[in-house]
Structure formats: structure tokens, C-alpha cells
Amino acid sequence: MRTIDDLDVAGRRVLVRADLNVPLEAAEEPGGVGGRPPTATRQITDDGRIRASLPTIEALRGRGAKVVVCAHLGRPKGEVKPEFSLAPVAARLGELLGTPVEFAADVVGDSAQAVAASLPDGGVALLENLRFEPGETSKDDAERGAFADRLAALAEIYVGDGFGAVHRKHASVYDVPRRLPHAAGGLIVAEVEVLRKLTEDVERPYAVVLGGSKVSDKLGVIDNLLGKADRILIGGGMAYTFLRAKGHEVGTSLLEEDQLDTVRDYLRRGEETGVEFVLPVDVVAAAAFAADADHGVVAADAIPADRMGLDIGPESGKLFAARLADANTVFWNGPMGVFEMEPYASGTRAVAQGLIDSGAFTVVGGGDSAAAVRRLGFDEAAFSHISTGGGASLEYLEGRTLPGLQALED
Ligand SMILES: Nc1ncnc2c1ncn2[C@@H]1O[C@H](COP(=O)(O)OP(=O)(O)OP(=O)(O)O)[C@@H](O)[C@H]1O
Ligand SMILES: O=C(O)[C@H](O)COP(=O)(O)O
């Protein structure tokens, strides 16, 4: 892969695809937050991914490039939804860079074109959320290509630096680099360097901890992990499809009904191949998805029909930590519970501590997982690597060809 050091960028417009998909305070109602007007009022709760994007942007502007940053936020599904505006991210990016960031009110329209055209050398702009445009995520090559043409027209050079999104075959990740001279940014180079070690020589026992809420997205990686990991610990929203597959009631917990057969197959193959699945033995079950909802610890096979599991329970926390204690390599993606709400944060805390106490080579991947580690007060330096990619790092570890890396290599 070419890197930005191989590019001559002075005075040229460079489109940087970053991953600025940061957690924001919850939108309490569609189109607005707490009765306040939409857009910039939504606060960023963790700016880790913005900070991780700074070195590449700074290096490019330091060399006199006109830097046009593009990124997605959440999953607005091709529609303009103000609560997914990148406006607050532009403001934070400007604060961190110490220079104002021009914000384009659209992605490839009049505003984006005017902002890109008027950028001075060393200037930085951010386009509105790429996913407001249906072409960005379209499965139709022609539709994606047409949008990629318009995005590419905003710049002369493309730099891919959004590691967290390299597993997406999206226009800004896959199609634009095929239209412009391109290179990988420093974040992608650094992430690949660390994660490659986990695909080459893994020191065993190798434990993988999976949680979070993107269940159907991430279940597939287990297929491949069955041939690589010694132990797979399942918590977070992912756990309930496993518990259901084992015949337990899961109440109103997150559940992927159509994945039950797949999960049963994983459990069977785990037994055959000696890969141990570790599931929660107790959970914190709540009456509603809210911090102040009535909640309590119940056995994992006794979740009441009207309750949802929002965290692994204390016994599960101890069990998970014990199954990490003798590991030499641990990869963790996905919080064990809804850590953003204090009553459901203990499981994530227990697993984070378990990783640290194991003394293993530990990699934490994912936007929310990394945010959880910081928010719960852990020292980032206590982990071997904190990756900005969740799904991306999981798919990298699977050995899959990732569209965003493939496009940069071509
Ligand atoms: N039991 C649960 N029910 C519902 N949501 C859950 C549960 N456990 C965890 N979560 C939520 O999962 C979210 C994080 O999941 P996600 O799969 O996006 O992880 P991630 O680390 O951000 O990875 P990526 O970078 O791929 O998005 C958190 O916001 C958390 O509140
Ligand atoms: O949060 C992430 O993992 C990346 O930003 C990709 O987001 P996505 O899962 O919505 O494509």
C-alpha cells in the first residue's frame, strides 16, 4: 500500500475518508434532542475516533494540502436525518486541530462543491454525513459508482484512513479510490500493522470476547473464529441469541430469531472441535431500556418474559475473567452490556479488568468498546492495542479481503 509519504500533496485537494462515527448522547425524539432543536445540540460522548484521525489530517495540512474530510455517522439509511448530522463533529475536529473546520451542509451538492473549491492550502473541511446519500451504501454498483463520481470530483487525491469502515463496500471506501490517485493514511497503516500480528503467530490460549449490539453483523465472524480461537466468550446483546439457541427464554432481550440455526451449528461445531463457548450464567434483566427501569440479577436460564437482559451478571463477570486469566492473547469487541447506563456497566468493567489482569497481549476493537474502556476509567495504556475498528478488525482477523484495503492496494 502506498502511504501519504509517497504523495505530492502541496496545493492539491485531498479527500480523506475518515471514520468519525463517534458515540453521541441519545436522541430522545426523532429530529431533536430533549425538545431542543436538532443538529449541533447532540453532544459527542467520546471523541476517540476523531483524535485517532488527527495525525493524518495534520500531516496533510502541514504539507500544504487542501484537506476535504468525509465520514459517516450512524446509519441514517440514505436519508437526511438531522440527528445524524456531522456538524458537532466538525466543531470538535476544529477544536482538536486548533483551526476552524469548514462544514459543508451537504455531501456532494452546492455547499460541498463551494467549500472544497474555496479551501486555502492547509485548510480543512468536513462534508455532511456520507450516509445521507443513498449512493454511498447502495448494493447497486451503478448507483454507488454514480455517487462515487460526484465525490471524487471534489478532490484530486484520495487518502483512505477510516479503518473502522474498511470492511464496508461503500462508495467512499471502495469506489472513490478506484477513481483517484490514492494512498493509505497513518491510522490504517498502524492498525494493520498490529492486527496482522494476530493473524500470523498468535500465542495461545487465544480467547475472543464478543458483545455489543450489531449481532447479525458480527455473528458471521464466529464461523471463522472456530478455526482460530481456543475460547469464545459471548456477552452483550449477542448473548441472548446464544441463550435462546440453547433453549432458554430471553424475554424482550435483543434476539436474532433467524440466526438461531446458525448459532446452534456454531455450538455444535465448538463441541466437535474443542473450541469452548463461554456464555453468561446470570444477567441483569430490566423492565425497559432505561437507566431508571426496575432491574435485577437473574439466572441466564430464568429471564422473565417481560424483562430484557442489559448486562451480564456478577457471576458471569467472574466466570469471564477466570476464562481470560490464563490466556496469552485476547481480542475483545463489543461491550458486555449497555455500559452507557451505570446500572448495566459492571459486566463491561469486569471484562476490561479481566483483560488487564490476564497479562496477555490484549486488543480491544470497536468504537463503543474503546469508548467504554475510557469512560469506565481504565488506562488505555493497560491494553496492548485499542483499535478504532470493531467489525473491521473482526473481519480483518477472519482473514477476509476488506474492500477498503483492497482498493488502496490496487
Ligand atoms: N444486552 C444489550 N442489549 C442492547 N444493547 C447492548 C447490550 N449490550 C451492549 N449493548 C450496546 O452495544 C453497543 C455497542 O455495540 P457495537 O456492536 O456497535 O460495538 P462497537 O465496539 O462499537 O463495534 P463497532 O465499532 O463495530 O460498531 C453499545 O452502545 C451498548 O450499549
Ligand atoms: O462503528 C463502526 O464499526 C464503523 O464506523 C462502521 O459503522 P457501520 O457498522 O455502521 O458500517
C-beta of 333 in contact with ligand 2 (< 6 A): no
Residue-wise pLDDT for 367-390, tens only, equals 899 999 999 999 999 999 999 999
Which residue positions form the known binding site for substrate? 19-21, 49, 72-75, 131, 168
Q: Does residue 29 have a pLDDT over 50?
A: no
Average pLDDT over residues 275-282: 98
91-129 tens-digit pLDDT? 999 999 999 999 999 999 999 999 999 999 999 999 999
**Would the CB of 313 count as within 6 Å of ligand 1?**
no
Neighbouring C-alpha atoms within 13 Å toward the C-beta of 314: 3
pLDDT digits (tens, 9 = 90+) for 324-344: 999 999 999 999 999 999 999
Q: Report yes or no: 54 and 31 within 8 Å, Cβ to Cβ.
A: no
Q: What is the per-residue pLDDT across 260-272, written as a single tens digit (0 to 9) for each?
A: 999 999 999 999 9
Spatial contact of 235 and 211, defined as CB atoms under 8 Å apart:
yes
Q: Which residue has the cell 496492548?
A: 384
pLDDT 10s digits, 280-301: 999 999 999 999 999 999 999 9
ipTM, 2 decimals?
0.96
**Is the CB–ligand 1 distance for residue 53 below 6 Å?**
no
Q: Rounded to a whole number, what is the distance in angstroms from the first to the last CA of the chain?
A: 8
Kindly identify the ligand whose nearest atom is closest to the C-alpha of 404.
2
- Residue pLDDT, tens place only, 183-231: 999 999 999 999 998 888 899 999 999 999 999 888 988 998 898 999 9
